[in-house]
Amino acid sequence: MKVIAINGSPRKEGNTYQAIRMVAAELEAQGIEVEVLHVGGEQVKSCIACGACQRNKDEKCALAGDSLNEWLQLMKKADGLLLGSPVHYSNVSAVMKAFLDRAFYVSGANGNLFRHKVGAALAAVRRSGGMPAFQQLNNYLLYSEMFLPTANYWNVIHGAVPGESAQDAEGTQIMRLLGRNMAWLLKAVETGKAALPAPEAEKKVRMNFVR
Within-domain flag for 24: yes
Within-domain flag for 202: no
Q: Give the count of domains, the chain.
A: 1
Tell me, yes or no, if the pTM score tops 0.75.
yes
Within-domain flag for 207: no
pLDDT tier, 211 (very low <50, low <70, confident <90, very high otherwise): confident
Within-domain flag for 41: yes
DSSP result, 149-207: ---SS-SEEE-SSTTGGGG-HHHHHHHHHHHHHHHHHHHHHHHHHHHSPPPPP-PPP--
Within-domain flag for 6: yes
Within-domain flag for 107: yes
For the stretch 24-58, pLDDT in tens is: 999 999 999 999 999 999 999 999 999 999 999 99
Within-domain flag for 200: no
Within-domain flag for 44: yes
**Is the pLDDT assigned to residue 188 strictly greater than 80?**
yes
> Which domain range does residue 156 map to?
2-195
Average pLDDT over residues 77-106: 98
